[in-house]
Structure formats: C-alpha cells, structure tokens
Amino acid sequence: MPTQDFVSPDSIRAQFSAAMSAMYKLEVPLYGTLLELVGEINQAVMENNPNIAETLRWTGEIQRLDQERHGAIRVGTAQELATIARLFAVMGMQPVGYYDLTPAGVPVHSTAFRAIHEQFLQVSPFRVFTSLLRLELIDNLPLRELAQSILAKRQIFTPRALLLIEQCEQQGGLNAGDAADFVEQALETFRWHREATVTAAEYRQLHDQHRLIADVVAFKGPHINHLTPRTLDIDAIQAGMPKKGIPPKAVIEGPPPRKYPILLRQTSFKALQERVAFTDQHHQASGSHTARFGEIEQRGAALTPKGRARYDQLLNEARHALGGLPAEDNAEHYMALLANTFKAFPDDLAQMREQGLAFFRYFATEKGLAARNDNARPASLHALIEAGHVHFEALVYEDFLPVSAAGIFQSNLGDGAQSHYGSNANQQAFEQALERPVLDELALYAETERRSLQACATALALPALS
C-alpha cells in the first residue's frame, strides 16, 4: 500500500484526544463545567496580559492551548502495559520518563506517553500518564494471587483494536478509514464499565488492601480516571472552582505562583461516587466505587538538570519546614513556605537563561533577518539577543512531577489510603514490562533547544549558535 494513503499518527492522536474528551464529558459532566471555567479564564488572561498572549504566539502554543489535555490510566499486568505502548505508538505517542510513586504509598510505577518532537506536539500535545500496578509489593500472598488470577482473565483491548495495531505495525500506518475505526476501537479500552469483574466480597478484600488495587483489578478495563485541561492561571481556577460547584483539593501541587511559570502546577477535584454492579449482584448497580476525578494544570518552563535540582531542593525545604503533608488545615502555611523558599529561584527569563536553569526556544526576529547580509552584525548568541536579532522564550514542560503526581493520587484515593512501601524505584523492571526503554525527557528538551538554535542560525545565515 502506498504510504501517501496513510494518515499521520499526529492526526490519529488529535482525533483520539477529541473523542476521549467527548466521551469523558458524557461520563463525568463536571469535566464539561471545568472546561467552561478554563475557557473563560484563559480568555481573560490573554485579554488582560498581552505579554502572555505574545509569548504563546511566539511558541505557537496559542494554537494548541484549547485542545491541550492529559489523561491517566492504571494497568494491571506487564502484558497490558506492553500492548498499551503499541496502541499509543499508532498515535505517535512514546513512553517518556519514569516515575516511582512508592515513596508516597502508592504501589505503582509510571511513564507518560506523548509525542516527542515540537512539531508533533504542536499538532496535538495529548499525553497519558500510565501507571502499572506492582502486585509484588503486596505482602498479603493470597490476595496477590487473587488479584493476579482476576487480571489474567481479562482482555482490555477489542479484537479489532488488536488487529489494527498489528496492521499498522506491519504496513507502517493506517489509512483514513482504518484510522477512524482504530480511534473508535481504542476508545473502548478507556471507557468506564459499571459492571465489575468481581464479587462484592472480593471487591472489599481488594479495597481493604489498597483502594488503588480495587480500582485496577475489579473492573473490565483501565478506565480513564481524569482528563486535564491546561489553564493559563491556576490560582484563578482554584478560586473559581467552588463558585461553579466544583470542590478543589486543598493545595495546588508544584511550584508557587510566579511571573514566569516553571514546570507544572496542578489541582484536582474529588473523585465521584459511582454505582457499580458486582458479579453476585445480578447487574443491579448496588455497590459503589470512587475512581474518576477532574484535574487542571498550568505549564511553565522545562528546567535543565541544574534547574530541576534547584526545584527539587526548594520544594523539599518547604515540605520539610511544614513538617507533614500539605492538607486542608495547613494549606495557607504551606503556600507561604513555598513562596519563601522559592525566592532563591530567579523569576526572570533572562536570568534563568544566563544561569542555565531552563531550556529555551530561539527565534530570528525581523530585525535579525533584515541584517542577514550585514557583515558587521553580532555573531554570538548573547550579542544577537542584546541586539534584538534573536528572541527567546522558555520551552514548555511536557512531562509530570512525581511529588505532584503522588499528591494527585492521594487527593482522589482519600487520606486513609496512605500506606508505606519505602522507595522501590525499579526502572529496569518497568522497562522489561513495557518491552522497550522509556525516553529521557531531558534529552528531548535539549534536542528541541538545539533544533531551534540551528533554525535560527540558518535563518540568519550564521554558523552554528550555542
């Protein structure tokens, strides 16, 4: 089959992201309310802050903002994870980064499936935070075996989805008809199922071990548990949620408010209580389960290893000074501590660049292009910036933060869900289950930065810039 018949993986991802959003709006109506709030606030931010709108125009993010979202799922077995990786690959999504959630008492490790090139991200930045349950950390052997035997019996992919994945792998792509079919079939894996795969007593056993285990094991598939739009002002969202009847979690995860946002700030609202039918209840939905919730994120600059080390250190200092986990009763104190420790992180793009704290994208300006043939023009990056020939903007962070992710997990698992597993990072075991290595997000940011410098040098007819 000639390759020109294939639709691009980016277009399949964009279609899938839209289909997922439509499905989740029907399943969780508060998500729709949240989208309205985010739309209103993003609009207001752009009207009131021409600089922010200008920045988003330079980077092109203004075009992707409205459709920007991430979701999260939790799978139960290595085989499910490996097949999910193949399913996401059809849509141009690769596993990026490794997250160990065990220090926070959640028995999973995770990666984020996403597009990896700035051009592809521009078409659709859709990401899925994907966690693998770690039954090996459960020391209750009979329960572990029960969970394993239940998981061994389920098939979370439709036969047609599996066929289309294989076809795509063998032929190198899907045509428009098959792509539309694939989106519809893939969606089935993420759908909510009211019918559990266990009896009420089994559910209780799994649940009493850890709520997360019940969520992963007791259902037919890895239902999407939240879908997160991107806002330009998360503080306004946090303040605006109660007025729309959406109860937010106590604190915003991540860095404090800044003029120039870094990394990722996130807040969420509590999981829904849903009716479920256990296998011994003859399909009358008389049980209940809390699984699905809503989340909002604000994205900022991707940090270099040096910047990230500074972030981790300052976050730790604030949490250490708090002397416990951030919660309802110490939220204000925590935000004050955070604001205080983060004074040590410059809130200025030029300083962040000069100190090597963040990654950037560089653009040749009109002035620079006009001076292309002028032999007396500056040639170093710094001098070109000073002369207004090159403009720079922070490169947006496309990934997740383990401490924040733990806070999001906990906010919807409930406070009683805190368990202790110590630190059990095992990237090798994760990659073995995944059947491929995860990509290093820092290398991806460095490549994007390098490509933008190259494009700048070419546009200005200069030798390489660095």
Q: How far apart, in whole angstroms, are the C-alpha atoms of residue 226 and residue 207?
A: 20
Q: Which is nearer to ligand OOG, 69 or 361 (CB)?
A: 69
Which of the choices Ni ion, ligand OOG, none does residue 131 contact, using the CB cut-off of 5 to 8 A by kind? ligand OOG
* Residue among 77, 94, 102, 404 that touches ligand OOG (CB under 6 A): 404
* Residue among 409, 421, 430, 445 that touches ligand OOG (CB under 6 A): 409
Backbone angles phi, psi at 371, to 5 degrees: -95, 10
Write out the binding residues for ligand OOG, residues 47-86 only, by CB under 6 A.
72, 74
State the minimum distance, in angstroms, from the CB of residue 459 to ligand OOG.
Answer: 36
State the minimum distance, in angstroms, from the CB of residue 451 to ligand OOG.
Answer: 27
Q: Which is nearer to ligand OOG, 74 or 134 (CB)?
A: 74
Residue 129 touching ligand OOG (CB under 6 A): yes
State the minimum distance, in angstroms, from the CB of residue 107 to ligand OOG.
Answer: 12
State the minimum distance, in angstroms, from the CB of residue 262 to Ni ion.
Answer: 18
Residue 131 touching ligand OOG (CB under 6 A): yes
Write out the binding residues for Ni ion, residues 72-101 only, by CB under 5 A.
72
* Residue among 59, 102, 266, 410 that touches ligand OOG (CB under 6 A): 266
Q: Which is nearer to ligand OOG, 67 or 355 (CB)?
A: 67
Residue 61 touching Ni ion (CB under 5 A): no
Residue 408 touching ligand OOG (CB under 6 A): yes
* Residue among 295, 398, 441, 449 that touches Ni ion (CB under 5 A): 295
Site string for ligand OOG, 204-243 (x = CB under 6 A): ---------------------x------------------
The residues binding Ni ion (CB under 5 A) are 72, 228, 295
The residues binding ligand OOG (CB under 6 A) are 72, 74, 129, 131, 225, 266, 295, 400, 404-405, 408-409
